[in-house]
A and B are shown apart, each in its own frame.
Chain A
């Protein structure tokens, strides 16, 4: 899983995306270029309407570019694929399936044999700490547990990229902090390239190697800020003056564009 060299994993080149809105053209993204290295953790922050979700949907293959190129592993993105796991803000668990069956979904689709499926599901359910709820239906889970299940489900198909669209946005502040720490722990154990969208400046700085700040109308990249804080990011890091400084920089970039 680990690669020592830093190769480019995701490459977005001069992407433009427009939507037709009642015979008016709406520019969601304009001239967006961004390279993300292998196993890098990048967070994207910006005001609503800055096109951060659109950018993620393009990389996920759920939307197409109007101009420019979106590349993954040197190949242009054409449709969704199991190499890119997506985690949605609304969890998007299949409510009629148990946690285990949800995690196994992608494996089943890929035709993985039953025994292998069960083994892999077990591993990732344990990784997110849901082993006691493996046979529970989503309706029995809290928001935080649902999102952990969604993370396990995304990991189960072994994607090399995780695209996360405000995954913790609907959770309360305490659960969010806890899940941020768990996510980093997971990422540390199972390195992936992560693009994480958020509107929370603290979250953006705490998680990332790099914070991409976007601006709206038209959606574009405003500033990219490197976060040179050491991993593992503990509470001390979160409360350190260096963290505060970075937080202020990102805050200014987001709110005083």
Chain B
């Protein structure tokens, strides 16, 4: 942070590019009373304003839901949903469902991404691999993984494997494309810069191609995660003995709207938490990017 302060010294006058984002905040701390303070303060109020608006929106939305439920719409009220949630938790069913769903999604998603990253790299780096893999990936990409479920169920039985497999496929197909995109769009100048500094292919791959494509991979993983969730719930609706999707399916049979709501809320919250975790990883790993 001291460094940032020194940047504004008169000797280096031409040299500071004022960054709109995080740095402004640090600059304010380091240069009290300096010119950059104003935009920083404006930024702060803007953020608070956004947070307040978010809160209003959430409270308002729940209010509308409640009103609708009270005015004869066939919704359970928020307290009813919470009550059902607590009841499901106490009976141990909710934990069981959460564990079942989370395990499936995590195994499928992690395995899918873990395979997608090397395959994407190989495709981007070697023309031969691209030529061999691309038609299959492009073909399967156009098929929703869920559409393969009937086939997978016939081939792999009705255990955990087919469900995890379709989730795996969902995550893999999204992530492989974006990893590949990341590799082929690495700036040629950076590769040339590494070459003229004496780097050979292996070094260039590890030290230039991998870091340069990290932003693409993380975007692919986030999209893949969303796709995994969607596939999971649908797969559970079709064929499962436990899991959030299964619970909702059962509740539907008994016209138990409160349980369905619990399922929806759980899926939403879990998806959001996982997405935020990836976003956090993204900001840690790709904070070097110039965002304009």
Contacts and interface: CB of A to CB of B under 8 A. Distances in A.
A61 interface: yes
A133 B198 contact: no
B198 to A, nearest CB: 4
Nearest to B5: A132
Contact of B290 (A84, A110, A139, A178): A139
A140 B15 CA distance: 9
Interface string A95-138: 11100000001100110000000000000000000001101111
A109 B198 contact: yes
Interface in A131-171: 132-133, 135-145, 153, 157
A250 B124 CA distance: 46
B3 A82 contact: no
Question: Which residue, of A85, A132, A153, A157, has the highest number of chain B Cβ atoms within 10 A?
Answer: A132
A157 B14 contact: no
B15 A142 contact: yes
B17 A140 contact: yes
A61 B200 CA distance: 13
Interface in B78-105: none
Given A86-B193, A105-B197, A133 B3 contact: yes
Report, as a range, how many residues of chain A touch the other chain.
Answer: 35 or more
B198 A106 contact: yes
B283 interface: no
Given A95-B290, A135-B3, A82 B14 contact: no
Contacts of A178: 14
B190 interface: yes
A92 B192 contact: yes
B142 interface: no
Contact of B189 (A61, A80, A92, A106): A92
Contact of A109 (B19, B197, B287): B197
A133 B17 CA distance: 13
A88 interface: yes
A81 B15 contact: no
Report, as a range, how many residues of chain B touch the other chain.
Answer: 20 to 34
Interface string B1-30: 001101100001011110100010000000
B171 to A, nearest CB: 25
B197 A132 contact: no
Contacts, number: 96
A163 to B, nearest CB: 8
A132 B193 contact: no
Contacts of B196: 60-62, 80-82, 84-86
Given A92-B189, A135-B3, A141 B199 contact: no
Contacts of B211: 94, 96
B202 to A, nearest CB: 11
Contacts of B187: 92
B197 A144 contact: no
Contacts of A175: 14
B111 interface: no
Question: Which residue, of A80, A110, A178, has the highest number of chain B Cβ atoms within 10 A?
Answer: A80
A141 B15 CA distance: 7
A92 B190 contact: yes
Interface string B195-207: 1111100010001
Interface string A67-94: 0000000000000111011101010111
A82 B203 CA distance: 15
A139 B7 contact: no
Contact of A90 (B4, B15, B189, B194): B189
Contacts of A153: 197
For the complex of A and B, 8 pairs with smallest distance between CB atoms: A106-B197, A92-B193, A82-B198, A86-B196, A96-B288, A92-B189, A139-B290, A80-B196
Given A86-B196, A92-B192, 15 more contacts: A80-B195, A82-B198, A86-B193, A88-B192, A92-B189, A95-B289, A137-B287, A138-B288, A138-B290, A139-B19, A139-B289, A140-B17, A140-B23, A142-B15, A175-B14
Interface of B: 3-4, 6-7, 12, 14-17, 19, 23, 187, 189-190, 192-199, 203, 207-208, 211-212, 214, 286-290
